Amino acid sequence: MTKIKSLADLKKKKEDLQSKIALREKSDTPEGRVLVKVAMATCGIASGSKEVMEYMVDELDKRNIDAIVTQTGCMGYCYAEPTIEVKLPDQEPVVYGYVDTRKADEIIEKYIRNQELVDGIIPVNYQTIEKDKEE
């Protein structure tokens, strides 16, 4: 039987990772990185945002795209979940709706790699529901 992984083994892997990260930091500044935010509220989770986020983390790493993938709350586009916001360096963020892993692949290949806009953008809208929550 193979040994179950433990934190002790992670320690051994650490040095490998340290050199990889040092290399990356030399080549890039944080502002130069792609920022992906996955909407992860109840509506997003119920629609599959977990799978989309996992896909983004794994695939961007596999395809050697230096990106930060984080979570955000509900942007009010519950009908279009899962939604993700992609911000390329020096550009306005773009929100995509109805993102599944296939759409995510298209966004990585076309938009993130080549700045080609992909179908499924949610237009910018500054309205929220009435502000009756003034405190």
Residues 50-89 that bind other proteins (CB under 8 A): 50, 53-54, 57-58, 60-61, 69-71, 73-76, 78
Which region among 27-35, 44-52, 80-88, 100-108 touches other proteins (by CB under 8 A)?
44-52
What lies within 8 Å, CB to CB, of 76 at 6+ separation is 128, 129
- For the bound state, the minimum distance from the C-beta of residue 77 to other proteins, rounded and expressed in Å, comes to 8
- For the bound state, the minimum distance from the C-beta of residue 94 to other proteins, rounded and expressed in Å, comes to 18
Q: What does the DSSP 8-state code read for residue 121?
A: B
Residues 14-43 that bind other proteins (CB under 8 A): 14, 17-18, 20-21, 38, 40-43
Q: Where are the beta strands (DSSP E) in the chain?
A: 34-39, 67-72, 84-87, 94-96
What DSSP string describes 19-73?
HHHHHHHHH--GGGSEEEEEE-SHHHHHHTHHHHHHHHHHHHHHTT--EEEEEE-
Binding site for other proteins (CB under 8 A): 4-7, 9-11, 13-14, 17-18, 20-21, 38, 40-43, 45-46, 50, 53-54, 57-58, 60-61, 69-71, 73-76, 78, 128-129, 131, 133
